[in-house]
């Protein structure tokens, strides 16, 4: 039988599922405002000393236990995901801090038109608010995260400067910028949630370039560092190793809490007046589908039938340029050094709608370069050629990464798998996801332009990957927001249209995907919704 933790019959004011980017923001702000907050997180707390970025074993561990694909890591804290019918593998990390443990900390806002896609391009839908509505929350998030960047990027409306000076753009950033200048194309020193100076208890970045496998310097703004110490000091209770299997509801259809399995295998119950889902687009959909009841037979909060639909994962292409000069291209931050929004806006004459965001990042160490050789003939890949290839390319190349705006497609979705389960026996999700025609055309165009940019920068050899399979860093859609309960799952305050005390504050609520990295927007929306919840606490309907 399910028990409350420690036998207490505690009813929390708010129960948050998932201690990742959105859950951490909500938890910290609600606890500060005096709410009793419980957060259930299936993963554990990770200590910075566990990261390998400052050890020689860094690269070989990044291919297994620190890989962003949970199916490759295969840790007990992960849940397997069936990707047999997906063009892209979803990536994430399950721990206190969620995927920000591994994220690259590109702290990029969406552009204004991203919120008005239907009005401007006649496709998809508009968001229920505008860039201007969100701007103050972007500002506050930049402050809280300690973003380093240069104000004045002409790809955005004028606004508040980031709190910290920009990180260095290094030789690779300068080289890429020279190419862009020749073509007259936009570039800008990038904003990153990586402090260039010591900031609120975090250290300054020392450019190890290992952000994607966890920052050993306690510099990068991962949510375990940014929010949890304060949230806990303000009374929030973070229960780790707590794998939620179901959101419970009462006769009236109101949420009453959640059932979870602890690490001794016991089923427990946490009751609450309000439940906030922050388990990311895949984890949240999975749980709400698992929480189907007699009344809500196709999933909790799913009267629209849209739960799980319109999954967007930002297909990603890369153009690599090799130069005949050493550029120390392993040097961090990693982190983006420069980005370009030259082709982020729509131009229908290109044969597709919406656009892409480009960024330059360091190339990593020598082992990563080897990965590309697995398909080569033995004599080409090994022997003296092994050295020749390494010496010719290592430290002398960089990549323009291209994030494609992914349009919402009804058929791209998360469902429950019929056989696969996690280590607690809870059904796993399955991804059904295909790249749309628009995406393929968009990527072809962008790859061709990025090749021109590499050539202009003086690359002696250029290669590209049209679509990376392991590129589902950005999980969005599946519970879109909107004003109409028939065509959306939550309202603009992230509240379920069906269940008035159930909220979804992760990237699930995105109406469209922009081509910018999503976490600045996920957290700005979570912050906006949390503040609204605090301001309207007296009007909140709760289970009796």
Ligand X SMILES: Cc1cc2nc3c(=O)[nH]c(=O)nc-3n(C[C@H](O)[C@H](O)[C@H](O)COP(=O)(O)OP(=O)(O)OC[C@H]3O[C@@H](n4cnc5c(N)ncnc54)[C@H](O)[C@@H]3O)c2cc1C
In the window 204-263, what residues touch other proteins (CB under 8 A)?
204, 206-210, 217
Show contacts with ligand X in window 351-380 (CB under 6 A): none
Nearest-angstrom CA–CA distance, 297 and 294: 5
Q: Measure the CA dihedral 230/232/235/241, to 10°.
A: 150
We find the least distance from the C-beta atom of residue 335 to ligand SF4, in angstroms, to be: 6
Looking at the Cβ atoms of 145 and 306, the one nearer to ligand X is: 145
The arrangement of strands across the sheet holding 356-361 comes to 188-189, 338-340, 356-361, 397-404, 316-322, 461-465
φ/ψ of 392, rounded to 5, equals -70, -35
Show contacts with other proteins in window 66-125 (CB under 8 A): 111-113, 115-116, 119-120
Show contacts with ligand X in window 19-48 (CB under 6 A): 19-23, 40-43
CB atoms within 10 A of CB 102: 24
Over the window 45 to 84, marking each residue x when it contacts ligand X by CB under 6 A and - when it does not, the resulting string is -----------------------x----------------
Number of residues that bind ligand SF4 (CB under 6 A): 17
* Burial class of 321 by CB neighbour count within 10 A (0 to 12, 13 to 18, 19+): buried
Show contacts with ligand X in window 218-247 (CB under 6 A): 242-244
Nearest-angstrom CA–CA distance, 335 and 267: 40
List 12's β-bridge partners, or say none.
272
Show contacts with other proteins in window 428-487 (CB under 8 A): none
DSSP 319-362: EEEE-SS---TT-S--S-SEEE-TT-S--GGGSSSS-EEEEEE-
Over the window 480 to 519, marking each residue x when it contacts ligand X by CB under 6 A and - when it does not, the resulting string is --------------------------xx---------xxx
SS3 for 490-505 is ECCCCEECCCCCEEEC
Over the window 53 to 82, marking each residue x when it contacts ligand SF4 by CB under 6 A and - when it does not, the resulting string is x-----------------------------
Gyration radius from the chain CA atoms: 23
CB atoms within 10 A of CB 119: 10
We find the least distance from the C-beta atom of residue 383 to other proteins, in angstroms, to be: 6
Number of residues that bind other proteins (CB under 8 A): 77
From residue 61, give the alpha-carbon distance in Å to each of 6, 67, 448. 37, 8, 34
Residue 219 near which of ligand SF4, other proteins, ligand X, none (CB within 5-8 Å, type-dependent): ligand SF4
Looking at the Cβ atoms of 103 and 323, the one nearer to ligand X is: 103
Residue 395 near which of ligand X, ligand SF4, other proteins, none (CB within 5-8 Å, type-dependent): other proteins
Nearest-angstrom CA–CA distance, 274 and 37: 10
- Greatest extent of the chain over all pairs of C-alpha atoms, in Å: 74
Residues 6+ apart with CB under 8 A from 98: 18, 19, 20, 21, 23, 24, 43, 92, 223, 278, 280
374 near other proteins, judged by CB under 8 A: yes
What SS3 state is found at 222?
A: coil
Q: Which two tokens stand for residue 145?
A: 């995260």
Looking at the Cβ atoms of 245 and 488, the one nearer to ligand X is: 245
With CB under 8 A as the contact rule, the residue among 330, 433, 493, 510 that binds other proteins is 330
- What is the 8-class DSSP label of residue 153? -
Nearest-angstrom CA–CA distance, 34 and 349: 53
Looking at the Cβ atoms of 31 and 105, the one nearer to ligand SF4 is: 105
Q: Are 288 and 247 in contact (CB under 8 A)?
A: yes
Nearest-angstrom CA–CA distance, 145 and 193: 6
We find the least distance from the C-beta atom of residue 426 to ligand X, in angstroms, to be: 7
Looking at the Cβ atoms of 226 and 462, the one nearer to ligand SF4 is: 226
Residue nearest to ligand X (CB): 20
We find the least distance from the C-beta atom of residue 51 to ligand SF4, in angstroms, to be: 8
Q: Are 196 and 148 in contact (CB under 8 A)?
A: yes
Residues 6+ apart with CB under 8 A from 285: 307, 308, 414, 429, 478, 479, 508
Looking at the Cβ atoms of 364 and 518, the one nearer to ligand SF4 is: 364
Looking at the Cβ atoms of 352 and 365, the one nearer to ligand X is: 365
CA-based nearest residue to 333, from 249, 453, 211, 508: 211
We find the least distance from the C-beta atom of residue 1 to ligand SF4, in angstroms, to be: 45
With CB under 6 A as the contact rule, the residue among 332, 355, 401, 408 that binds ligand SF4 is 332
Show contacts with ligand SF4 in window 205-224 (CB under 6 A): 205-211, 215, 217, 219-220
11 near other proteins, judged by CB under 8 A: no
Show contacts with ligand SF4 in window 179-208 (CB under 6 A): 194, 205-208
Show contacts with ligand X in window 286-315 (CB under 6 A): 287
Looking at the Cβ atoms of 211 and 457, the one nearer to ligand SF4 is: 211
Looking at the Cβ atoms of 18 and 162, the one nearer to ligand SF4 is: 162
Looking at the Cβ atoms of 206 and 535, the one nearer to other proteins is: 206
Among the listed ranges 24-32, 57-65, 89-97, 489-497, the one in contact with other proteins (CB under 8 A) is 57-65
111 near ligand X, judged by CB under 6 A: no
479 near ligand X, judged by CB under 6 A: no
Interaction site with ligand X (CB under 6 A): 17-23, 40-43, 68, 91-95, 98-100, 102-106, 212, 242-244, 278-280, 283, 287, 473-474, 506-507, 517-520, 522
């Amino acid at each position: 039988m399910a028990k409350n933790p420690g036998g207490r019959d505690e009813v929390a004011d708010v129960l948050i599922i998932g201690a990742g980017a959105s859950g951490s923001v909500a938890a910290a702000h609600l606890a500060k405002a005096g709410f009793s907050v419980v957060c259930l997180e299936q993963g554990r707390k990770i200590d910075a000393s566990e990261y390998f970025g400052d050890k020689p074993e860094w690269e070989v561990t990044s291919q297994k236990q620190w890989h962003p694909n949970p199916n490759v890591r295969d840790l007990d804290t992960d849940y397997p995901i069936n990707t047999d019918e997906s063009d892209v593998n979803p990536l994430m990390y399950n721990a206190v801090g969620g995927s920000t443990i591994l994220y690259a900390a590109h702290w990029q806002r969406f552009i204004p038109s991203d919120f008005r896609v239907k009005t401007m391009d006649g496709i998809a839908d508009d968001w229920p608010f505008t860039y201007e509505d969100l701007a103050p929350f972007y500002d506050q998030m930049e402050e809280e995260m300690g973003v380093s960047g240069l104000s004045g990027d002409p790809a955005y409306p004028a606004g508040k400067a980031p709190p910290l000076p920009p990180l260095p753009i290094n030789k690779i950033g300068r080289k890429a910028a020279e190419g862009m200048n020749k073509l007259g194309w936009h570039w800008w020193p990038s904003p990153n949630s990586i402090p260039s100076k010591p900031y609120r208890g975090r250290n300054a970045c020392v450019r190890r370039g290992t952000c994607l496998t966890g920052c050993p310097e306690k510099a990068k703004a991962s949510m375990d560092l940014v929010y949890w110490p304060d949230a806990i000091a303000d009374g929030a209770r973070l229960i780790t190793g707590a794998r939620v299997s179901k959101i419970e509801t009462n006769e009236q259809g109101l949420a009453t809490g959640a059932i979870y399995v602890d690490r001794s295998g016991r089923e427990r119950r946490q009751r609450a007046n309000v439940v906030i889902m922050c388990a990311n687009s895949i984890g949240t959909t999975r749980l709400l589908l698992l929480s189907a009841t007699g009344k809500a037979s196709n999933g909790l909060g799913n009267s629209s039938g849209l739960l799980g639909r319109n999954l967007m994962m930002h297909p990603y292409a890369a153009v690599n340029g090799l130069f005949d000069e050493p550029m120390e291209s392993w040097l961090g931050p990693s982190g983006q050094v420069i980005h370009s929004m030259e082709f982020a806006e729509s131009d229908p004459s290109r044969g597709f709608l919406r656009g892409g965001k480009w960024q330059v990042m360091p190339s990593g160490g020598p082992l990563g370069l080897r990965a590309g050789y697995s398909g080569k003939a033995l004599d080409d890949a090994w022997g003296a050629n092994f050295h020749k290839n390494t010496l010719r390319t290592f430290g002398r190349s960089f990549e323009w990464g291209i994030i494609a705006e992914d349009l919402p497609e009804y058929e791209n979705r998360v469902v429950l798998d019929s056989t696969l389960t996690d280590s607690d026996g809870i059904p796993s999700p399955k991804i059904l996801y295909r790249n749309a025609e628009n995406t393929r055309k968009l990527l072809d165009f962008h790859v061709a332009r990025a090749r021109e940019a590499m050539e202009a920068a003086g690359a002696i050899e250029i290669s590209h990957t049209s679509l990376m399979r392991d590129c589902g860093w950005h999980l969005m859609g599946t519970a879109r927001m909107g004003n109409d309960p028939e065509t959306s799952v939550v309202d603009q305050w992230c509240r379920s249209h069906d269940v008035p005390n159930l909220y979804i504050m992760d990237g699930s609520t995105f109406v469209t995907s922009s081509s910018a990295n999503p976490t600045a927007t996920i957290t700005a929306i979570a912050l906006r919704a949390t503040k609204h919840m605090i301001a309207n606490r007296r009007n909140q309907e709760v289970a009796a």
